[in-house]
Amino acid sequence: MTELQQLTVKQLSDALNKKELSSQEIVKSGFDYIKETEPTIDAFITLSEEKALAEAKKIDDSPRSELTPLAGIPIGIKDNIVTKDVLTTAASKMLYNFNPIYSATAVEKLESAGLVSMGKLNMDEFAMGSSTETSYFKKTKNAWDQTKVPGGSSGGSAASVAAGQVPASLGSDTGGSIRQPASFNGIVGMKPTYGRVSRYGLIAFSSSLDQIGPMTRTVEDNAMILNAISGHDAKDSTSSRRDTPDFTNLIGQDIKDMKIGVPKEFMGEGVHPDIRHAVKEAVKTFEALGATVDEVSLPNAVYGVEVYYIIASSEASSNLQRFDGIRYGYRSENISNLEDVYVNSRSEGFGSEVKRRIMLGTFSLSAGFYDAYFRKAGQVRTLIVNDFKKVFENYDLILGPVSPTVAFEFGAAQDDPITAYMRDILTIPVNLAGLPGMSVPGGFSEGLPIGIQLIGNHFDEEKMYQAAYAFEQATDFHKKQPVILGGKA
């Protein structure tokens, strides 16, 4: 990793404001490094070099006093976040040629802040997966070990940041898709409170669960990017009207007297011993920083996976009806009537995991099964929400692991989707409750990163950043850098 690629968002911002670097230097260096390392990492589906360099020149030509502190800093965008005039595929054959005529609100906010999009990042198809192996285009590799998966569905977003290709990226999180790949790649990933960031322009998977969030190498960087993308949006009916604070406000303040709960259900036998050990060490660190840490219980969290796959698949079966071979995207050439257009286009355009979830969701919503599955899942979801409410009556934050394992080998769960689904058991309850959750680097197991998960009450991101920063500064896990085989170290 070159010296320039090692700089954080904050460091780049300071250098730009002092005119020690230009945006064009940073962006050009970024593309040079991406081209060198991309054969190893495979994080990008589409690069926007010409557009990015033009934007960087425009920023350099403007008086710095008229720009935001983030102006001129590169960022990568997950390929399910719509970007005007830039190929946006959701990593699916179904959208292999889709060039949007508008941008997502989150992208517009980034552009307003002057961040420069370097391109669109690989992911699991339509965000359905936890390894980025379901992408139609390529398999992104883990930045620390290219024989291992980067996690998913925001695998490209995580690997690109960990590898130094970009200092920050946007991902989306439906059941852990920011936090799990952040954990696997040793970076910081924040899934904000549901409604904190507009979903307008996010290609929908599960509308009651999806949320866009930032992925960075440090906690402070993460808060800075969340500042840029948060806020009410009239184009998203689920967008919160709550005022958006400066998420860096509490960074650097001590966490003395903060109360943290560790759910006993998150530390069970299915969690690898090295990860349990990392969490216990994190508890000691927080206690040394002045926090009180106790064991708590989320008794209904164990049903989270079952509830999630009924609700998420049901919403997906509805959301993905729009991809029908008629208006845009892939259309089969093997047609003789209108029914063939629908059936063959969807059969050929969707991958196996997407088809599996559409069928599961359609079944759950069908007559005779709606009450037994979808309605029941909604009722258990309420129990999970109530469990969190009860804990947050007495505690500021919840602490635990992000994933039961570190990054696994490619193909490890290809023939066993149930095993793959269970890997999300520690992240899914957060989405079901609409809470903010984040992953911060917390250790290593056999050379692979371990993520520590912090969960906050609704709209408590400031407090989460405060605690995460204190932990980050008390440890050195975030300072370790992967060596990219075939690229620069």
- Please report, for residues 8, 94, 97, 166, 237, the alpha-carbon distance to residue 85 in angstroms, rounded to integers and kept in the order given: 28, 18, 11, 21, 25
Active site residue 318: no
How far is Cα 16 from Cα 22, in angstroms, rounded to an integer?
6
Range of the domain at 41: 7-253
Please tell me which residue in 10, 78, 120, 141 is annotated as part of the active site: 78
Kindly report the CATH number assigned to the domain that includes residue 238. Answer: 3.90.1300.10
Residue 115 contacts residue 77 (beta carbons within 8 Å): no
pLDDT at 488: 46
Q: Does residue 258 lie in a domain region?
A: no
Residue 347 contacts residue 334 (beta carbons within 8 Å): no
Please tell me which residue in 153, 160, 314, 364 is annotated as part of the active site: 153
- DSSP-assigned states of every residue in 397-424: EEEEES-SSS--BTTTTTT-HHHHHHTT
Q: Does residue 112 lie in a domain region?
A: yes
pLDDT at 329: 94
Q: Does residue 28 lie in a domain region?
A: yes
How far is Cα 71 from Cα 55, in angstroms, rounded to an integer?
10
pLDDT at 413: 67
How far is Cα 347 from Cα 263, in angstroms, rounded to an integer?
42
Q: Does residue 98 lie in a domain region?
A: yes
Q: Does residue 325 lie in a domain region?
A: no
362 contacts: CB under 8 Å, gap ≥ 6: 314, 317
Active site residue 78: yes
Please tell me which residue in 92, 130, 172, 177 is annotated as part of the active site: 177
pTM given for the model? 0.96
pLDDT at 111: 98
pLDDT truncated to tens, each residue of the chain (489 aa)? 778 999 999 999 999 999 999 999 999 999 999 999 999 999 999 999 999 999 999 999 999 999 999 999 999 999 999 999 999 999 999 999 999 999 999 999 999 999 999 999 999 999 999 999 999 999 999 999 999 999 999 999 999 999 999 999 999 999 999 999 999 999 999 999 999 999 999 999 999 999 999 999 999 999 999 999 999 999 999 999 999 999 999 999 999 999 999 999 999 888 999 999 999 999 999 999 999 999 999 999 999 999 999 999 999 999 999 999 999 999 999 999 999 999 999 999 999 999 999 999 999 999 889 999 999 999 999 999 999 999 999 999 999 999 999 999 999 866 666 667 678 999 999 999 999 999 999 999 999 999 999 999 999 999 999 999 999 999 999 999 998 855 544
Q: Does residue 438 lie in a domain region?
A: no
How far is Cα 24 from Cα 29, in angstroms, rounded to an integer?
8
Tokens of 114: 């002057």
How far is Cα 378 from Cα 206, in angstroms, rounded to an integer?
14
Exposure on the CB side of residue 307, measured as CA atoms within 13 A: 27
Q: Does residue 184 lie in a domain region?
A: yes
pLDDT at 154: 98
How far is Cα 373 from Cα 364, in angstroms, rounded to an integer?
6
Question: Cα–chain-centroid distance for residue 184?
Answer: 12
How far is Cα 207 from Cα 312, in angstroms, rounded to an integer?
8
Tokens of 427: 């992240």
- Please report, for residues 149, 305, 420, the alpha-carbon distance to residue 416 in angstroms, rounded to integers and kept in the order given: 16, 15, 7
pLDDT at 269: 86
How many domains is the chain built from?
A: 1
